[in-house]
Amino acid sequence: METMVKIDHLFGGIYQGKKVLVTGHTGFKGSWLSHWLVMMGAEVYGYSLAPETEPSHCIMLDTKMTECYGDITDQEALGDFFEEAQPEIVFHLAAQALVRDSYDDPITTFNSNVMGTLCVYEAARKTASVKAIVNVTSDKCYENKEWTWGYRENDPMGGYDPYSASKGCAELLTSSYRNSFFKDGKGILLASVRAGNVIGGGDWAKDRLIPDIVRATSIARRVQIRNPKATRPWQHVLEPLSGYLMVGWKLLEGEAQYADGWNFGPDLSSNLTVGEIVELCKDYWNQIGVELNTDPNQVHEAHLLMLDCSKANKILKWKPVWNIEDTLKHTIEWYKNYYLHNAVDTLSDIKAFVSAAHKSGVAWAQQANFKEAGHLLPVDQAI
Ligand SMILES: NC(=O)c1ccc[n+]([C@@H]2O[C@H](COP(=O)([O-])OP(=O)(O)OC[C@H]3O[C@@H](n4cnc5c(N)ncnc54)[C@H](O)[C@@H]3O)[C@@H](O)[C@H]2O)c1
């Protein structure tokens, strides 16, 4: 029997008809987020650099939204776009997101990730329609002590490499703006959200494990693996996005206590090493082959990094939906279908995720939370 999940009733139906500005919409996470928002009936405005990867998930989705290609640090262009869009909520994802690139070009990294975030906050301050901002940083914003337990939202910020430090700085900036300009829930409600390594179809960034694996496999090569013993929290891209949308929902309802930092990571069982992930991927694409990159001159990358998500579990009633097997199955099969059949399974992955979320009982997927009468779409008929 069809699961009657009304796609535009998710998150209490808050995104239906809402004007939402997404920065970084041409990137991996931003392309999934924009598409999901449009499915829920939002009017989406995207501001980013032009798509940088070939292929590009954003181009293949061709999401029905208003786009502007520009630099996040171009205050005038960004301000004009805010003025045109008049958004109620901003999801800020635009960033130089690669650790290894941050060693090659620290100036662009700090400029985009810190000054870019500052420009977004200033543009929002000048746009009266903006009620809420969800700023996306990273688990790497924490001072990494290679602990075997997870970092909590009130642990100190830090960052060894330029990327991680830029995300720690973006957090300090966020805290300063919350205290200085958005105090006591007056004006804009500002939250920051921190997730770990996300995977899923449609990512072609360089130096990331899954894109490296599928790129090599698609041309019958073996993938070179760095740091096979490094442990990371692996999760499907839809998992943190459901957390960001959940926080956005609460901010749009004017609940000031949610204007805070939030961790969104997987269950402990999904904190696996790079080597373990590669072995599991082979279950879904048996042509995957591996060789170790033993280059002794590799740049420093964190070896152990986990998030404690008790706060989101308890207060937001948020929890991960897919286990690591479901996550890898959907991820690897997305790429396999793309390379072998030229198919783009993004829409069917969103539907499968929403159905699984509904069955698992997470708050954001329950119809009982829908407050207003709306336009009803069963999940299978959306878009
Ligand atoms: N992918 C992950 O595993 C991961 C993990 C933790 C945090 N994050 C964070 O999530 C956010 C999105 O990451 P992603 O994986 O989609 O990255 P991505 O590299 O795929 O996309 C980055 C996006 O930011 C835009 N961008 C970069 N510099 C810009 C600039 N100067 N001006 C305007 N736009 C600019 C790009 O055009 C692109 O749209 C980033 O803030 C990243 O740091 C990602």
The residue whose CA is least distant from atom 8 of ligand 1 is 138
Position 270, amino acid: S
Q: Is the CB of 379 under 6 A from ligand 1?
A: no
Model pLDDT, residue 375:
38
pLDDT value of residue 139: 92
Give the C-alpha separation, 252 to 14, whole Å: 8
The pLDDT of residue 132 is: 97
Residues whose CB is less than 8 angstroms from the CB of residue 217 and which lie 6 or more positions away in sequence, other chains included: 223, 285, 287, 288, 289, 339
Average model confidence (pLDDT) across the chain = 91
Cα 378 to middle of ligand 1, angstroms: 31
| Best probe residue, ligand 1, of 21, 26, 28 (max atoms within 8 Å of C-beta) | 28
- Alpha-carbon gap, residue 356 to 328, rounded angstroms: 15
Q: Provide the pLDDT for residue 295.
A: 66
Task: Among 198, 234, 239, 270, say which to mutate for ligand 1: greatest number of ligand atoms within 8 Å of CB.
Answer: 198
Is 70:47 a contact under the CB 8 Å cutoff? Answer: yes
> Which pLDDT score, from 0 to 100, does residue 372 have?
47
Neighbours of 153 (CB within 10 A): 17
> For residue 1, what pLDDT is reported?
45
pLDDT at 381: 44
What pLDDT band is residue 165 in, cutting at 50, 70 and 90?
A: very high
Best residue among 93, 101, 113 to mutate for probing ligand 1, ranked by most atoms within 8 Å of CB = 93
| Domain extent listing, the chain | 7-202+235-268+301-322+350-375
Is residue 263 within 8 Å of residue 139, measured between CB atoms?
Answer: yes
pLDDT at 210 over 50: yes
pTM: 0.94
Ligand 1 atom at minimal distance to the Cα of residue 53: 20
At position 109, the amino acid (one-letter code) is T
Is there an atom of ligand 1 within 6 Å of 95 CB? Answer: yes
Q: How far apart are CA 179 and CA 183, in angstroms?
A: 5
- Ligand 1, atom nearest to 70 Cα: 33
CB atoms within 10 A of CB 77: 17
Query: Which strand (E) or helix (H) includes residue 358?
Result: helix 346-360
Q: Quick count: other Cβ atoms within 10 Å of Cβ 143?
A: 14
User: Could you tell me the distance, in angstroms and rounded to a whole number, from the CA of residue 28 to the centre of ligand 1?
Assistant: 7
Query: What's the pLDDT score for residue 369?
Result: 64
Write the pLDDT tens digit of every residue in 218-261: 999 998 888 888 888 899 999 999 999 999 999 999 999 999 99
pLDDT-above-70 percentage for the chain: 91
Tens of pLDDT, residue by residue over 327-369, are 999 999 999 999 999 999 999 999 999 999 999 989 999 876 6
- Ligand 1 atom with the shortest distance to the CA of 203: 20
Determine the Cα–Cα distance for residues 142 and 154; give it in Å rounded to an integer: 9
Expressed in angstroms and rounded, the spacing between residue 23 Cα and the centre of ligand 1 is 9
Give me the half-sphere count of Cα atoms (radius 13 Å) on the Cβ side of residue 36. 27
Task: Confirm or reject: Cβ of 93 under 6 Å from ligand 1.
Answer: yes
Quick one: average pLDDT of 282-305? 76
Centre of ligand 1 to C-alpha 94, Å, is 5
**From the CB of 109, is ligand 1 less than 6 Å away?**
no
> Could you report the per-residue pLDDT of 172-188, keeping only the tens digit for each?
999 999 999 987 656 89
Q: Are strands 271-273 and 231-233 parallel, antiparallel or unpaired?
A: antiparallel
Cβ–Cβ < 8 Å for 312, 264 = yes
Regarding the beta carbon of 71 and ligand 1, being less than 6 Å apart is answered yes
Helix (H) or strand (E) holding 76: helix 75-85
* 257 phi/psi in degrees, rounded to 5: -65, -15
Distance 95 CA to ligand 1 centre (A): 4
Would you list the DSSP string of 16-40?
TT-EEEEETTTSHHHHHHHHHHHHT
Assign 269 to helix, strand or coil. helix
Q: How far is CA 3 from CA 171, 173, 317, 373, 380, in A?
A: 39, 43, 22, 20, 8
Q: Quick: pLDDT tens for 10-57.
A: 999 999 999 999 999 999 999 999 999 999 999 999 999 999 999 999
How far is ligand 1, taken at its centre, from the CA of residue 361, in Å? Answer: 30
Q: Is the pLDDT of residue 127 over 80?
A: yes
Would you say residue 377 has pLDDT above 60? no
Using a 6 Å cutoff on CB, does residue 102 contact ligand 1? Answer: no
One CATH from 3.40.640.10, 3.40.50.720, 3.30.565.10, 3.40.50.150 for 7-202+235-268+301-322+350-375: 3.40.50.720
* pLDDT tens-digit series, residues 68-103: 999 999 999 999 999 999 999 999 999 999 999 999
- The alpha carbon of 202 and the centre of ligand 1 are apart by a number of angstroms equal to 13
